[in-house]
């Protein structure tokens, strides 16, 4: 990890002290843009929604989509807060003292990795010459386990976990480990232990809980 060690100080000196509020707004706007692109170029081409459009009933879905827009900032704020708290507890258990606001900022920065699959999903259906099926849109997640099988043959309770287990999630783990390594200025090995025993452990507990309670 010599490359990370060499880059650590440069990272903090050059640009880590970015404005948290402004960056949060940018992340929200990027998610808004993805939702809008899906609505205009993908959802509008789905046969079932075309029927709703012809009947003048599409406003019901647009209200639902509007609620999604409104929920984005609250969902992201909750996600960043919970993830940063889990990492903070993990650091505390290993005797590391890291400022919570610094962890929160890093978690927010790491969220950018999840914009990549959202954009790839949009491109996948946008460039597909065939009209999409809504269930296909919902089930699809780039480079995830669910795309290695026919989702229609899989119990619905496993759809979300199989989508959640993807390459980008693992890249997110690596980013969190890098953040702990940067912020603690300690060994990389300990950073791996901290993230594995806090966020990753909670992530798998959540997936197991979801499968158990799904109806």
Q: What's the pLDDT tens digit per position in 134-150?
A: 788 888 999 999 999 88
What is 114-167 written as a DSSP string? GHHHHHHHHHHHHS-SSPP-HHHHHH--TTBGGGGS-GGGS-GGGHHHHHHSBH
Cα 35 to Cα 24: distance, rounded to the nearest angstrom: 17
Per the prediction, the chain carries an average pLDDT of: 84
The SS3 call for residue 4 is helix
pLDDT tens for 172-209 read 999 999 999 888 888 889 999 999 999 999 999 999 99
Cα 41 to Cα 127: distance, rounded to the nearest angstrom: 10
CA proximity to 57, closest of 48, 67, 66, 46: 48
Is the Cα torsion angle 154, 155, 161, 163 positive or negative in sign?
Answer: positive
Is the Cβ–Cβ distance between 183 and 102 less than 8 Å? Answer: yes
* pLDDT(157) > 50: yes
Cα 170 to Cα 179: distance, rounded to the nearest angstrom: 14
Residue linked to tokens 């995830």? 144
* pLDDT(54) > 50: no
CB burial string 118-137: b at 16+ within 10 A, e below: beebbebbeeeeeebeeeeb
Statement: the pTM of the whole predicted model exceeds 0.75 = yes
The predicted pLDDT at position 57 comes to: 47
The predicted pLDDT at position 61 comes to: 58
Is the Cα torsion angle 203, 101, 106, 33 positive or negative in sign?
Answer: positive
Residue linked to tokens 């009933």? 57
Confidence band of 91 (pLDDT split at 50, 70, 90): very high
pLDDT tens for 8-27 read 666 666 666 678 889 999 99
Q: Determine whether 73 is exposed, middle or buried from the number of CB atoms within 10 Å of its CB (0-12, 13-18, 19+).
A: middle
């Amino acid at each position: 990890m010599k490359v990370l060690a060499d880059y650590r100080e440069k990272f903090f000196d050059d640009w880590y002290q970015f404005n948290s509020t402004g960056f949060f707004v940018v992340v929200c706007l990027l998610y808004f843009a993805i939702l809008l692109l899906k609505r205009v170029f993908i959802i509008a081409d789905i046969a079932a929604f075309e029927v709703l459009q012809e009947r003048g009933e599409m406003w019901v879905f647009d209200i639902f989509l509007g609620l999604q827009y409104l929920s984005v900032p609250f969902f992201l704020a909750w996600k960043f807060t919970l993830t940063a708290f889990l990492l903070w507890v993990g650091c505390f258990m290993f005797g590391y003292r890291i400022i919570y606001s610094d962890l929160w900022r890093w978690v927010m920065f790491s969220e950018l990795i999840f914009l990549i699959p959202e954009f790839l999903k949009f491109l996948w259906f946008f460039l597909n010459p065939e009209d999409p099926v809504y269930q296909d849109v919902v089930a699809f997640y780039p480079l995830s386990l669910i795309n290695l099988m026919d989702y229609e043959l899989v119990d619905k309770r496993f759809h979300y976990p199989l989508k959640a287990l993807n390459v980008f999630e693992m890249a997110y783990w690596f980013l969190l480990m890098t953040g702990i390594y940067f912020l603690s200025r300690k060994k990389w090995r300990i950073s791996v232990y901290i993230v594995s025993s806090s966020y990753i452990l909670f992530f798998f507990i959540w997936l197991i809980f979801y499968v158990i309670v799904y109806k």
